[in-house]
Chains A and B, each alone.
Chain A
Amino acid sequence: MPELTYREAVRDALAAAMREDDRVFVMGEDIAEMGGSMGVTQGLLEEFGPERVRNTPISEMAIVGAGIGAAMAGMRPVVEIMYEDFLTLSLEQIVNQAAKHRYMSGGQVTVPLTIRTQGGAGWSPGAQHAQQLEAWLVHIPGLKVVFPSTPEDVRGLLWSAIHDPNPIVFFEHRLLYPVKGEVPERLEPIPLGKARVLREGTDVTVIAIGPLVHRTLEAAQRAEEEEGISVEVIDPRTLQPLDEETLVASVKKTNRAVVAHEAVTRMGFGAEVAAVLQYQAFDYLDAPIERVGAKFAPLAFAPVMEQFVVPNAGDVLTAIRRTVGR
């Protein structure tokens, strides 16, 4: 199987969708000549031209809103919000407009819009360039929310997102862009709403998203080698709709659960997963569900402070030990 970086995998899905369907076009800040602030859209301008690869002004409301209108008028736009911190500027359009048109029209309208964005700590950008806000969007009926962690998943899921008739917020992670992984020879769509079991185990289930998937795999390896703990690792990949069945089945097997994400723990996505698990697998749980996430503070600039706040593999390992020790 060929290898792609996460960045190349996103680009590959975008280019494939644009080749296949004239209705697909991309717009966002600095995505044309510059190829995006993360280099994701490099080469697209050369292949598809300026009509379909559109540099926008710094106008997050208009970027998302124009995407909504173009989608309602029959296009399949993919818009890029450079940092998910800036997604906050377009939330009115995402929450009140994109998520509501189908509903408020009684089913007359579809908004096949994909909103790509990225964030993530680990490079000292400070408090306004690295937040993880995926939980905000999962709270909104009408939106689908995707957060892939591997090149194969990001390619297959972005393809599915672009072809889905609903508005989708598609989270990427800055530190994952250079990560390499095997991908199928031909792009294979991955259905939204299906979790992936990345590692099978019997003692504890860790449900992780984004970069925490990789940190969890590292922790799982250490738990196995150092303490003989067998860890099952699951990435939901799609946060809404959520593949509850796979998560619950795993916890019924292992009887212990840890949820892990880079976002702040309080009201994070893991809180919802924990609620789902305790309700559907209450009689199977042998220990309280552990939560791993960022400490309750904005992201500090100084690397030592940033590292203190953001969860790492050691934090996941500690949570695994805590739940297995009860």
Chain B
Amino acid sequence: MAKVERTQALSDEALRHFLSEMLLIRRFEEKVEERFRAGDLPGFLHVAIGQEAVAVGVCQAMVEGDVFASTHRAHGHTLARGTSANAVMAELYGKKEGCSHGYGGSMHLYDVERGNFGANAVIGGGLPAVTGAGLAFKLRDEPRVAVAFFGDGATNIGTFHESLNLAQLWKTKTVFVCENNRWAESTPGWQHSPVWDDMSKRALAYDMRSVKVDGQDVEAVYEAAQDALEHARSGEGPVFLDVETYRMHGHYIGDPQVYRTREDRQEAADHDPITRLRERLGLSDEDFDGFDRQAHATVDAALEFAQNGTDPAPEDALANVYA
């Protein structure tokens, strides 16, 4: 396993920016939970509360031209890569102004202009495409990288293994980000994987460079991601980021989590990445509230934007089937 050398600490200014991004995701998802429980939002939704440092750390390390595929828990990745809260919220409301124009919903957020090749509701479904995009970048000798986000549950599905094998075999410009929150819906890691406490073993089986990262430490995630992206970008081969993180809420909004002990939930709450960054920065209540007010204001504006968005015409359902 490779060790990430900390060459230089991130500036406080950069970390403050990360905090504002993480807070935006947190407040956005809390608002989504609230509106869903109020019966205001169609479909079903999954929040990644507790995993904001992974989204922000990785997405901030990506550069223009890089692409990524996300999962059913996609709000954070999408916001962190620069899609506006307005466009994401409008999508959750099924509006034309949404980032997928109402065709996708929470589990299918796209924003091709910002490299978002789509959030996938099939576990592991996006991994082969990210491998293929990384192959395209390699074939054209472009300094671009394709990034796949997925959870520990995805490490058991065929696409995961076929993708890691092919990516390493062909040294595609790909980074695999395993967000190991130790839950596959309601099934704990120890029930679904023999290597649940060390997912990097999966990558080692394919001779892939693997880096273990504390997913609650945004600084560590950022630095590991930067190193991984550089490695892939230079054509040296793909990298597996084994990111250990915590899912503070249920699998879906409304999940009573009967399968989870009080202690387990408390442990997750104790590892809040926002609290950790706040402490790292030594922010006063006043300073923190300033960031928080900004996040709330952006989310409130997004909600208003979405609620006042344009409904698609029913027959729009027949468009975009073919190019």
B-binding residues in A (CB < 8 A): 25, 51-52, 54, 56-57, 59, 61-62, 64-75, 77, 92-93, 96-97, 101-110, 112, 141-142, 144, 165-166
Contact = CB atoms under 8 A, between A and B. Distances in A.
Given A65-B162, A66-B131, 11 more contacts: A62-B128, A65-B129, A69-B131, A96-B122, A97-B120, A97-B122, A97-B129, A104-B110, A107-B320, A108-B110, A109-B110
A73 B132 contact: yes
Contacts of A106: 98, 100-104, 110, 320
B297 interface: no
Contacts of A51: 139
6 contacts: A59-B166, A62-B165, A68-B128, A103-B321, A105-B320, A165-B323
Nearest to A64: B128
Contact of A141 (B112, B127, B321): B321
Interface of B: 67, 98, 100-104, 108, 110-113, 117-118, 120, 122, 125-137, 139-140, 146, 158-159, 162-163, 165-166, 169-170, 319-323
Query: Which of A64, A74, A107 has most chain B Cβ within 10 Å?
Result: A107
A107 B101 contact: yes
B323 A105 contact: no
Contact of A65 (B67, B163, B170, B319): B163
Contacts of B136: 69-70, 73-75
Which secondary structure characterizes the binding site on chain A?
mixed
A64 B132 CA distance: 9
Contacts, number: 143
A51 B135 CA distance: 10
A242 to B, nearest CB: 13
Nearest to A240: B322
A65 B169 contact: no
Given A57-B166, A57-B169, A141-B321, A67 B132 contact: yes
B131 A62 contact: yes
A104 B104 contact: yes
A108 B108 CA distance: 12
Contacts of A105: 100, 103-104, 108, 110, 112, 118, 320
Contacts of B322: 102, 142, 144, 166
B103 A93 contact: no
A34 B53 CA distance: 48
A93 B102 CA distance: 22
B166 A56 contact: yes
A92 B67 CA distance: 22
B110 to A, nearest CB: 4
B8 to A, nearest CB: 32
Contacts of B135: 66, 69-70
Contacts of B323: 102, 107, 110, 112, 165-166
A166 B320 CA distance: 11
A61 B159 contact: yes
Given A69-B117, A73-B67, A105-B103, A62 B133 contact: no
A103 B125 CA distance: 16
Nearest to A72: B117
B100 A62 contact: no
A75 B139 contact: yes
A69 B102 contact: no
Contacts of A92: 122, 125, 159
Closest 4 CB pairs of A and B: A65-B128, A69-B132, A106-B101, A69-B129
Contacts of B319: 107
